[in-house]
Amino acid sequence: MKEKRAVFVSGALLTMSLLSACSAGTDKGTAESAAAAGAKPVILKFYTWDNESNQTARQKMIDAFHAKYPNITVQNVSLVPGNSVESMKKMDVLMSSGEEVDVLEYGNIDETLARAAAGVLAPLDEFYANGHVNPEEDYYINPKLNEKYYATMLTSSPYFVLINEDALKEANLSLPTFDWTWDDFREYAKKLSKGEGIDKRYGTYFHTWGEYANLIAYSDLKSPYLTGDLKPGFNDPSFAYFFNLRRAMEKEDKSVKPLADIVGAKLSYITEFLNGKAAMLATAPYMLDNVMNKEKYPHTFRSVIAPLPRSSKNGELGITNIGGSYVSIAAGSKHKQEAYDFIRYMTTEQEARLELSGYKKADSKAIVERLFGKAPDVLDVTTLQETIFDKRVKTNFDPAVSVSYGNQLKGVLEKGFSKFMLDNTTAEEAQKWMMDESGKIAKQNAK
């Protein structure tokens, strides 16, 4: 991958001008596609991890697509509802066994590129060209391998900090602004902690995913695992800082639930926050549906939103991690044009969206209001919009600094952090182990 273009997902990520009425249907290929009268009926199998509420919302989008493409029937197959990681694993098994697959959704760029390298995804370049689509102009992040596009960005998920407003007021703390740091976050977590034993409310919660081992790496660096020249980057100073911060918060401050307890009890970040066991949670818009689901997660406090802390007092304001999900066409699909028509429609359509769009021309403010403005008693949409729509919001992540084995490198980060926390190694020892392991993986994939 020769391109080394930094991606700045600014306030424009969420505040681009209104989507014109014809924008989703301007593709030349779309106008000439199988939607024409008398076209042969086609069934597409679309594999996701939608839970029950997401399937309902997704079906509205599929129904709207059916109205425009009456000859194409889309079947939404949710493999492991609510669990993207297990769904992706199950999807691999299905594809290797010859199961009919047309469209797939992946939870991050690393998982997407790993499948592209394995040859199970179809490149999109021909479809983009036929439709006169420039993906760099239309989507914020475009997964590429060997200079070919293999996925279209479906959703965009900028990280922020979700805070229990009742706990904030009880501790007499103001809502943090863009100038707060991770050291400030630690102090807030101390003051928000309350009680002892099983009734204790911790100041914050960190889940087991790699992002939580070093959130600075995911927001401030071009890649959380690699240097700009695609070499292992786990020796970056941010890893030692964040590892030691996590240990101090757990061991000294007692402001975060021990990692051993989280792993042993297989705790859920959703219930830990919504059951009032943690006052703060660094997260993204994927958490907000749960906040609003008072029937499944009964709670009375309101959640307010603060920016993700910056790395230090000298750190740039507004830097955050921008996650997202991606949709691809299976290499073995017999209906690739129809699958592309569905992908293009799904990524540009706005009225039935489940999450913030990865499409630059979307009216994201309207999407946020429609999705999250219905439960002001449990979610403060004003602070949400003030946080994610601020013009300073951006990420330093560069999709060009990616490799097909990125998901393996994320596993190294997770294991290295676990060794640091559970085996009581030093941060430097953990970094050395991660550098060694990632070096081995790089050599294996270079063969």
Q: What is the mean pLDDT of residues 212-221?
A: 96
Asked if 150 and 292 sit in the same domain, the reply is no
* 34 belongs to a structural domain: yes
Asked if 90 and 49 sit in the same domain, the reply is yes
Asked if 182 and 245 sit in the same domain, the reply is yes
Asked if 343 and 266 sit in the same domain, the reply is no
Helices (H), 248-302: 259-265, 269-274, 288-292
Asked if 270 and 407 sit in the same domain, the reply is yes
- Is residue 232 within 8 Å of 225, Cβ to Cβ? yes
Q: How confident is the model at residue 308 (pLDDT cuts 50, 70, 90)?
A: very high
Asked if 328 and 397 sit in the same domain, the reply is no
How far is the C-alpha of 341 from the C-alpha of 246, rounded, in Å? 46
Asked if 98 and 227 sit in the same domain, the reply is no
Total domain count, the chain: 2
Enter the tokens of residue 55: 């399937």
pTM of the model: 0.81
Asked if 258 and 301 sit in the same domain, the reply is yes
Measured in whole angstroms, the distance separating CA 435 from the mean position of its chain's CA atoms is 25
- Is residue 375 within 8 Å of 294, Cβ to Cβ? yes
HSE of 424, CA atoms in CB hemisphere, 13 A: 1
* 46 belongs to a structural domain: yes
* 7 belongs to a structural domain: no
* 383 belongs to a structural domain: no
Q: How confident is the model at residue 34 (pLDDT cuts 50, 70, 90)?
A: very low
Question: Percent of the chain having pLDDT more than 90?
Answer: 69
Q: What pLDDT was estimated at residue 38?
A: 60
Asked if 116 and 134 sit in the same domain, the reply is yes
Instruction: Name every residue whose Cβ is closer than 8 Å to that of residue 161 and which is 6 or more positions away in sequence.
Output: 176, 185, 280, 281, 282, 283, 305, 306, 307, 308, 309
Q: What pLDDT was estimated at residue 149?
A: 96
- Is residue 3 within 8 Å of 146, Cβ to Cβ? no
Range of the domain at 204: 160-317+393-446
Q: How confident is the model at residue 15 (pLDDT cuts 50, 70, 90)?
A: very low
Q: Which amino acid is at 391?
A: K
Instruction: Name every residue whose Cβ is closer than 8 Å to that of residue 21 and which is 6 or more positions away in sequence.
Output: none
Exposed/middle/buried for 329, CB within 10 Å: 0-12, 13-18, 19+? Answer: buried
Asked if 76 and 109 sit in the same domain, the reply is yes
* 184 belongs to a structural domain: yes
* 57 belongs to a structural domain: yes
> Which CATH number covers residue 423?
3.40.190.10
Q: What is the DSSP letter of 39?
A: P
Q: What is the pLDDT of residues 59-102, one digit of tens each?
A: 988 999 999 999 999 999 999 988 888 888 898 998 888 889 99
Please choose, from the candidates 268, 311, 288, the residue with its C-alpha nearest in 3D space to the C-alpha of residue 180. 311
Q: Is the pLDDT of residue 420 over 90?
A: yes
